[in-house]
Amino acid sequence: MTYTEYEGKTSLLISLIDLTSRKLVEEKLKASEEKYRLLAEKTNDIIWTSDLNLRTNYVSPSVEKLVGFTPEERVKQSVSDQMTPESLARAAEALAEHIALEKDPRQTPTGC
């Protein structure tokens, strides 16, 4: 809300923004995140995510039961400590391919 004065007269400017659609999108995103978090936390498989430098940023709780590290410990480990050299090479190759596809979607994936 803004008040301005011009030639002795005061005016008021009010700006309204409808946030209904934004709130609906946020609620759907939250519900989706909760659903996938529940799946990741209840599975017996290890689910993990990493950034574009292959630094782990999430590991599902099942990692502790399967390999003995807590998720917090596993996130601190380098990717080379988490994977065999062959698996790491394949992951790096797949990541490079996907980054190339993002830059030029006309490329044909090799199927890593």
Is residue 43 domain-resident? Answer: yes
pLDDT digits (tens, 9 = 90+) for 7-30: 777 777 788 888 999 999 999 999
pLDDT reported for residue 77:
95
Is residue 41 domain-resident? Answer: yes
Q: Give this prediction's pTM.
A: 0.59
pLDDT digits (tens, 9 = 90+) for 87-100: 999 988 998 998 88
Residues of the domain holding 44: 20-103
Hey, how many other C-beta atoms are within 10 angstroms of the C-beta on 95?
15
**Cα 98 to Cα 102: distance, rounded to the nearest angstrom:** 6
**Cα 61 to Cα 48: distance, rounded to the nearest angstrom:** 10
**Cα 75 to Cα 60: distance, rounded to the nearest angstrom:** 10
Whether pLDDT at 64 is above 90: yes
Is residue 109 within 8 A of residue 94, CB to CB? The reply is no
Find the CATH number of the domain harbouring 41: 3.30.450
Is residue 108 domain-resident? Answer: no
Q: Count how many domains the chain has.
A: 1
